[in-house]
Amino acid sequence: MVDWNKEVKLSDLFGGKRKQARPAAPAPATTSNGTSTNGASKTSVLKRDVSLRRTRKPADARPPAAKRASPRRQRRVASHGVLGLKIGSSQLAAARVANENGELKLVQVAREPLERGVVVAGEVREPEVLAAALADFFTRHKLPRRGVRLGVATNRIGVRSLVISGIEDERQLANAIRFRAQETLPIPIDEAVLDYQVVSEGRAEDGSLSRRILLVVAYRDSIERYAEACARAKIELAGIDLEAFALLRALRSPAAANGSVPAESAHVAVALGYDRSTLAVSDGRVCEFTRVVDWGGSALDRAIAGALRILPVDAERLKRSLSLADSAAAAAIEGVSPDDVRHAQAAVQEELQNLARELVSSLQFYQSQPGSLAIGEIVLTGGTVNLEGLPAELAGLIGVPVRVGDPLARVTASAGAAERDDAASLAIAIGLGLED
């Protein structure tokens, strides 16, 4: 048992003007393989844009860039809402959210399978195949191709919090940040796209200016493969957002979203994907830690397949009927012997220990940072949450309450969207569509 009582949001990695934070006292920051942006000053940047500027490449070496809407066109599409687009390893998901007189309305959703191997661990392997799939997806579901915000989640994107003091000139600041990026991030600068956000700033006793900086660095080829696929599908990207921040927006309660309820414990959200999962920790205003975990629901398929010596596709079908909550009910799966059901349950429970270890390790690192909050609960989403008894099983392994989040809690869903039973698989797409 672990004793837990001990966003910086990048809303647009493509496009958007850099905005200065309100003056605040600078705070020290630490980083690791996970992303921690913790500090005493927690000015919310959930509504601010950060644009990734590209390192210059020869013109003939660059792939087609995704179209970006002009400011006038952006205003025009704003009335129709933002379309959040999640490209996963096993599916495409889209959600269009419109702000109608202050009311967030989920007006359109779509989801369909994606051929395996096109996207692996957040990296596009087959841009042309993905482009064709996107074009068909948008056409089939009559999705708007303007005002699209794409989500990305990969360990090849680095987010770091830095403190830089004694520099007043903006050009010198940019050079200093670029120099620090070379020192702190494991990405060769000539292979990267980077940008930064001033999160807070203040004056020291000697009068020198100190600024807390959010630095974002990604491998250029990772971003450009997505951009190339979208451009070929004639999709105009309004922005690229980290899935972690979209996840937090989708699963924040309405009270936390408007700031009426102060956070006394960290808000921990986990999206269980097919081959990887996204963990995000927030105090309700700022994403303080995020990590992509190399564990997904397909690990359960492999565990069941190995235990019963069946194909993973057959194991996946069995998993959908499996329950961890009631052994007697689980034993009644049609066409499966009680012994096989018990073996499948045991295999799933053993595999979930790997997920629990990953989550505990990540949260322990978060809590090692100055100013971290207690872990009150973990909120789950993603297709794997349909496994009955999963929250209770993880809660027993981790030692904190675990529940399934409701990505529709902050929006008024249209009749078609409200009637769907796959809202958990649409959570990140919905978060990408939110503009709050």
Convert the pLDDT of each residue in 424-433 to its tens digit.
999 999 999 9
Per the model's pLDDT, the better-predicted residue between 428 and 69 turns out to be 428
Does some domain include residue 43? yes
> Could you give the CA distance from residue 303 to residue 347 in angstroms, rounded to a whole number?
6
Q: Which is it for the CA torsion 316, 317, 320, 323, positive or negative? A: negative
Does some domain include residue 224? yes
Tokens of 234: 């004639």
> Could you give the CA distance from residue 216 to residue 196 in angstroms, rounded to a whole number?
6
From the number of C-beta atoms within 10 Å of its C-beta (0-12, 13-18, 19+), residue 263 rates as: middle
115 Cβ contact list (under 8 Å, min separation 6): 129, 133
Does some domain include residue 279? no
Tokens of 384: 């794997």
> Could you give the CA distance from residue 360 to residue 213 in angstroms, rounded to a whole number?
28
pLDDT given for residue 37 in this prediction: 47
Does some domain include residue 141? yes
Per the model's pLDDT, the better-predicted residue between 58 and 436 turns out to be 436
pLDDT given for residue 327 in this prediction: 59
Does some domain include residue 371? no
- Per-residue pLDDT reduced to its tens digit, 248-265: 999 986 555 454 444 578
pLDDT of residue 51 exceeding 90, the answer is: no
- Per-residue pLDDT reduced to its tens digit, 205-227: 888 999 988 777 888 899 999 99
Mean pLDDT, the chain, integer: 81
* Extended strands (E) in 101-236: 103-113, 119-120, 123-124, 148-152, 157-165, 192-203, 209-219
CATH of the domain at 165: 3.30.420.40
Does some domain include residue 336? no
pLDDT of residue 19 exceeding 50, the answer is: no
Tokens of 58: 């020869």
Range of the domain at 412: 35-254+406-433
Establish how many alpha carbons lie within 13 A of residue 177's alpha carbon, considering only the half-sphere containing its beta carbon.
Answer: 25
pLDDT of residue 338 exceeding 80, the answer is: yes
Q: Mean pLDDT highest for which of 98-102, 282-286, 336-340, 389-393?
A: 389-393
CA dihedral (277, 283, 289, 290) in degrees, to 10, reads 20
Q: How many other C-beta atoms can be found within 10 angstroms of the C-beta atom of residue 151?
A: 26
> Could you give the CA distance from residue 328 to residue 317 in angstroms, rounded to a whole number?
19
Number of domains the chain contains: 1
Going by pLDDT thresholds of 50, 70 and 90, the confidence category of residue 56 is very low
Q: Are 107 and 291 in contact (CB under 8 A)?
A: no
Tokens of 179: 């120099």
Tokens of 80: 């129709």
Does some domain include residue 300? no
Helix extents (H) in 212-337 = 220-232, 243-251, 254-257, 298-308, 312-321, 327-330
CA gyration radius, the chain: 22
Cα of first residue to Cα of last residue in the chain, in angstroms, is: 37
Does some domain include residue 389? no
CA distance to 21, 85, 196, 208, 253, per residue, from 263 (Å):
21, 29, 27, 32, 11
From the number of C-beta atoms within 10 Å of its C-beta (0-12, 13-18, 19+), residue 123 rates as: middle
- Per-residue pLDDT reduced to its tens digit, 121-137: 899 999 999 999 999 99
pLDDT given for residue 313 in this prediction: 93
> Could you give the CA distance from residue 335 to residue 93 in angstroms, rounded to a whole number?
32
Strands 35-36 and 287-293: antiparallel
